[in-house]
Chains A and B, each alone.
Chain A
Amino acid sequence: MSDDADDRHPLFMPVIFLGGLIFGGGLAVSRMSHPEVVLDFLQLEDLGLLFVMGGAAVVSGLAFWGASRAGGRAPLTGRAYGRRLKSMDRNVLLGGAIFGVGWGVSGICPGAAYASLGVGNLPILWAIAGMFLGAYAQGYWRSRRAEDADAATATAD
């Protein structure tokens, strides 16, 4: 079994869906699905969001720590348990800064935006459209840059 589409455990998709349900339920219960709640936090008028991110990080962190220490593999995919470790580079800083401006302007981040749609907040479609536009723009720019780099290499040969 793996997480490849043609070789998945029958419970793979149901578990992903269940995880999404719980995740989205948490976003709604915490009211992080309200841009106003995020903006109140960023304006330091209500610091409750610390408990949302902190609570979620502690629960996740304990599971990552426990499972990767115990070793073993995930039952549905055979994947080894690990932690989420991304490499550090300039993009981590630059991307974080651009995201920070956007979060401060709108009070919206990706997961909370999907949840906000579920809450029935239709104006959030502006934010979701914006996120797709932004993701497309960076993908366009990076794809072009990669092609230019390939072309330059080919010419040098």
Chain B
Amino acid sequence: MTLLSLVGTLFPNGIAHYALGGVLIGLGVVTIYLATGIIAGASTFLESTLSYVSDLSRFNRAKYLRSRDWRLVFTGGIVLGAAAGAVATGDFGFTTEVDAWRLLGGGILVGIGTRLGKGCTSGHGVCGVGSLSGASLTNVATFLLIAIGTAQLLAVAGVTP
């Protein structure tokens, strides 16, 4: 197998839009960081927003009450920025074929796991790895390996897409 065909096998859709998207995600993090010193992850929004509707002590910690309004603004920016990016690349209106039960059930586990584990793909995966944090590298290795195993099992069981 030549090198070129190996690259074609590993990256059948090329790498340009992946790398460009990754750089943009990083620039979004850097914009906020350089101006405010804040390293923003995406999953804290789930708990800080719950403080608006729940009295549970976990959600009403000072650091969530202090950040819940700007986390709403950050998430609103993500939604609108993605809309603009999708329009620009002709992807707007995409609809997933993944079953609702997988989205809901998987979402519940993502909600539990990211908050218990102190971060998600952006907090640990991008910002924590960028910080060479041992806890983040451990967390990312764990969720990557387990996610790959889970997706492989589902594929073997014939669940598609």
Residues in A lying within 8 Å of B, measured CB to CB: 3-5, 11-13, 15-36, 39, 42-64, 67, 73-88, 91-124, 126-140, 142-143, 146-147
Contact = CB atoms under 8 A, between A and B. Distances in A.
Contact of B109 (A26, A27, A101, A111): A101
B94 A93 contact: no
Interface residues of B, number: 125
Given A26-B24, A48-B15, A99 B114 contact: yes
Contact of A12 (B70, B144, B148): B70
Contacts of A29: 17, 20-21, 24, 85, 88-89
15 contacts: A12-B36, A19-B40, A22-B81, A26-B26, A79-B37, A96-B140, A101-B106, A103-B143, A106-B98, A110-B42, A114-B42, A118-B86, A120-B95, A133-B108, A146-B58
A131 B107 contact: yes
Contact of A106 (B14, B102, B128): B102
Contact of A36 (B46, B106, B161): B161
Given A42-B148, A104-B151, A114-B42, A119 B107 contact: no
A105 B130 CA distance: 26
A94 to B, nearest CB: 6
Contact of B103 (A11, A33, A54, A126): A126
A99 B106 CA distance: 8
Interface of B: 10-15, 17-40, 42-43, 45-47, 49-50, 54, 56-59, 66-67, 69-70, 73-86, 88-89, 91-98, 100, 102-136, 138-155, 161
Contacts of B23: 26, 55-56, 59
B107 A129 contact: yes
Given A52-B25, A110-B46, A27 B161 contact: no
A115 to B, nearest CB: 4
